[in-house]
Structure 1
Amino acid sequence: MVKIALIGAAGQIGTPLSLLCKTSDLFDEISLYDLVHVPGIATDLMHIDTRAKVTGYLAEDSGLKNTLTGADIVVITAGIARKPGMTRDDLFKTNASIIRDIFTEVAATCPLATCCVVTNPVNSTLPIAAETLKKAGVFEATRLFGVTTLDVVRASTFVTHALGDGSNPKDFKVPVIGGHSGATILPLYSQAEPPVSLKEEALAGVINRVQFGGDEIVKSKQGAGSATTCMAYAGFRFVQAIMKAKNGQSVTEEAYVYLPGIAGGKEIAAELGVDFFAVKIELGKAGAVKALPIGKISDKETELLGVAIDDLKKNIATALSFMST
């Protein structure tokens, strides 16, 4: 029996993610939580001919606790979305307390669950989750992930757009390290498989698009939202990876993690001078097994890495400051 809890399931990411989870037939139970609509969403999903039982809980009557009880995997998409003109700092002010409160209940109700944080800004919300679990005495870095899979998806997709040769994006594997916003996102095209051949200016444009692809969607939606359906797809891809690993398959995915708490991560953290960072992670039945070294990168990527680390340090410090007060 495998239960997944989706927190924020009535939102523009949570609803399509709920559908993907139900149609996948990976789960025995899917539990939804939000402040509105989820009982109706759960009833709607129960008309789909897959085996998972779907339940929906609102805040009243210990709804969050009921959603989390018995959960093996928890995915958090709750929070407000970024709007035009809104900075990541603006977003943080609202979503920080939401993440803290959710993880306070996670610590009390399902401390052994594998938790996946989608709520932005992930660079800061994941450290808040970690600190909340630490304060409760149940933090385990191998079970806590910031979902950066959308950056990996974009890195493959956007390079095929630039190549313009009809290539299938899924044929490209491009590691993406760093964080999950703007200049903290670093796609390593020097390590792309198969190798990518683009002129310097074109490659710089692709890197910039991967870094700021979220802005592209925010502007296009004219204030009606941010990355939602593509984020639901990416979130589900990461959940699939977690499930494959739980079933004994060998899986490697990028994720934003607390490096010192994962095998191989302490050395990476010492080299970079930052504790929270996205790298390739070997996944196993119990979560993260090993953080893989970044490897050899180009001179330009080394320059961009320095910028990413500087920005990440500020994001992490903002989170830790919030938790200290």
Structure 2
Amino acid sequence: MYKLSNRTFYFKSLLYFYSGKILSRNHHVTIVGGGNEIGQSVALLLRTQPLISKLIVHDTVKHIPGIVLDLSHIPSNSAIEGYVGHDTLETAIHNSDLIIATGVSQNPGLSAKAAFNLNIEFIKTLAASAAKVTPVPFIGIATEPINILVPMAAEVMRNNGEYDPKKLFGITTTDFLKAQALYATDNGLNPENCTVPIIGGHSNETIIPLLSQTKPSRNLDPKKIEEFTAKLRSQELIANGMKGWSPTLSTAYGVSAFVRGILNALQCRPTILHAYVENNDFGTSYFAGLLSVDQNGAGEMQRYSNLTQFECDLLERSIEQLRKDVAKGKKILEFA
């Protein structure tokens, strides 16, 4: 161990952190996979969060002590700890209120299949260890592919100890923020005043922007709607095609926004988050959207009426793909 001592309700809830109305700051947050680029960026963004009393960074890479030392040079009232190695994972997440999984530190040139297999083992190990923590902590998974790995993590936890479906989340906040930024840019608006609901899943085949429900609304023609949807869905593919680079900064920002929301919920304040959770209300067992969260976990997911035919068609295809993704996540364990 290494120890060194927006207009929408969604964004308004995050601003409570700066209002000074803090009930308690005794929350421990652990970043598992804290040595990779996303993990380091998340740690940096969380280092000065006033509701975190202890920030823990865990990974199997040897440079964790250096990361912790670097972070300790940022003035903060919170303690910071670092752990290295598989055998320290259970110690690192013990007493955590929130565990964030960012993924495995990967070398350049690693194939998509090899990266997928590494992330499978990463989430299996984390989920099995997290199932032994009592009380059950909140768990946010930002490891790709989220559509597959979150259902897999749920099954691992069911088989290894405690599991609370209300406390396991796939972090899809980045999709919500990305749509907000793109919509504002396309329409010459202030992004802080824009809301673009996103439902479905977290892949280029399952992300569904509901442009019929945007605020402020714009009368977009069918071609513009199709172009926006294609652009939003293609961002990940474009990023993945840029060798030696991946969208770590926006992902880390989305993760940090998710963390702030969960901490807000733990403060018994009304919170709305965008996440991928176990939910049987939409024709599949897992679904992403805006949902209420309190200190006990996920609550109701927001529903929308008067969807366009284009959105209904996207939803139908998305649900079909989500069913396949969920089944794949559960099937992985049969060959473990």
8 Å CA contact retained: 1:3, 1:71: yes
Report 1:215-294 matches (<5 A).
215-219=237-241, 222-259=242-279, 266=280, 268-269=281-282, 272=283, 274-294=284-304
Provide the residue aligned with 2:127 in structure 1.
103
The whole-number CA distance in structure 2 between the counterparts of 1:320 and 1:230 is 29
Tell me which moved more, 10-19 or 201-210: 201-210
Quick check: 1:83–1:225 contact (8 Å CA) kept in 2?
Answer: no
Distance 1:302 1:159 in 2: 20
1:81 Cα deviation from its structure 2 partner = 6.5
Match of 2:208 in 1: 186
- Most deviating of 41-50 and 288-297: 288-297
**Pick aligned residue for 2:325 from 300, 315, 319:** 315
Q: Given the superposition, is the C-alpha separation of residues 277 and 104 from structure 1 closer, same or farther in structure 2, using an over 3 Å criterion?
A: same
Is contact 1:118-1:147 (8 Å) kept? yes
Distance in 2 between the 1:86 and 1:297 partners?
39
Measure, in 2, the Cα distance between the counterparts of 1:293 and 1:205.
Answer: 24
Does structure 2 conserve the Cα–Cα contact (< 8 Å) formed by 1:74 and 1:114? yes
Residues 82, 199 of structure 1: alpha-carbon distance in 2 compared, 3 angstrom cutoff? farther
CA distance in 1, matches of 2:160, 2:290: 28
Q: Tell me if the contact between 2:183 and 2:196 (Cα under 8 Å) persists in the aligned partners.
A: no
Q: Distance in 2 between matches of 1:209 and 1:85?
A: 26
Is the Cα–Cα contact under 8 Å of residues 123 and 312 in structure 1 kept in the other structure? yes
In structure 2, the residue matched to 1:263 is: none
Query: Contact 2:141–2:150 at 8 Å: present in 1 too?
Result: yes
Matched, 1:4 2:29: yes
Instruction: Report the Cα distance in structure 1 between the residues aligned to 2:305 and 2:218, rounded to whole angstroms.
Output: 17
2:58·2:82 contact (CA, 8 Å) conserved in 1?
yes
2-side partners of 1:22 and 1:50: how far apart?
7
Unaligned stretches of 5+ residues in structure 2: 1-25
Deviations 1:112-156 (A, max 9, x none): 100000000000010111001111241111100000111101111
1: CA distance between counterparts of 2:109 and 2:226? 24
The one-letter code matched in structure 2 to 1:64 is: L
Summarize the Cα distance change of 1:160–1:85 in structure 2 as closer, same or farther, 3 Å threshold.
Answer: farther
Residues 151 and 197 (structure 1), Cα distance of their counterparts in 2 relative to 1, 3 Å cut? same
Pick from 127, 132, 138: which aligns with 2:162?
138
TM-score, normalised by the number of residues in structure 2 = 0.87
**Paired residue secondary structure (1:108):** coil
Q: Deviations over 1:178-231 (max 9, x none)?
A: 110112011111111111333322221111121121122233xx3113220100
> Relative to structure 2, which stretch is displaced further, 210-219 or 147-156?
210-219
Deviation at 1:49, TM superposition (A): 1.2
Q: Deviations over 1:230-253 (max 9, x none)?
A: 000000111111111111221112
* Structural RMSD (CA): 2.0
Paired with 1:313 and 1:231, the residues of 2 have a C-alpha distance of 25
Q: Distance in 2 between matches of 1:20 and 1:251?
A: 20
Letter in 2 for 1:71: S
The letter of the residue matching 2:194 is: F
TM-score w.r.t. length of structure 1:
0.90
**Mind listing any 5+ residue stretches in structure 1 that lack a counterpart?**
260-265
- Report percent identity of matched pairs: 26
Aligned AA (1:289): G
- 2:66 corresponds, among 40, 52, 55, to 40
Asked whether 1:196 is paired with 2:218, we answer yes
User: Is structure 2 residue 91 aligned with structure 1 residue 71?
Assistant: no
Change (3 A) 1:276 1:105: same
| Cα distance change of structure 1 residues 126 and 301 upon mapping to structure 2, 3 Å threshold | same
Which position in structure 1 is the counterpart of 2:179?
155
SS at match of 1:203: helix
Q: Does structure 2 retain, via aligned residues, the 8 Å contact 1:145–1:255?
A: yes
The SS at the match of 1:208 is helix
Cα pair distance change 1:92/1:283, threshold 3 Å? same
Counterpart code for 1:100: K
SS at match of 1:23: coil
Q: Is 2:194 aligned against 1:172?
A: yes
- CA change 1:143–1:156 in 2 (3 A) is same
CA contact (8 A) 1:5 1:73 kept: yes
* 2:228 corresponds to: 206
Please tell me whether residue 50 in structure 1 is matched to residue 82 in structure 2. no
The CA distance in 1 between the partners of 2:131 and 2:276, in whole Å, is 20
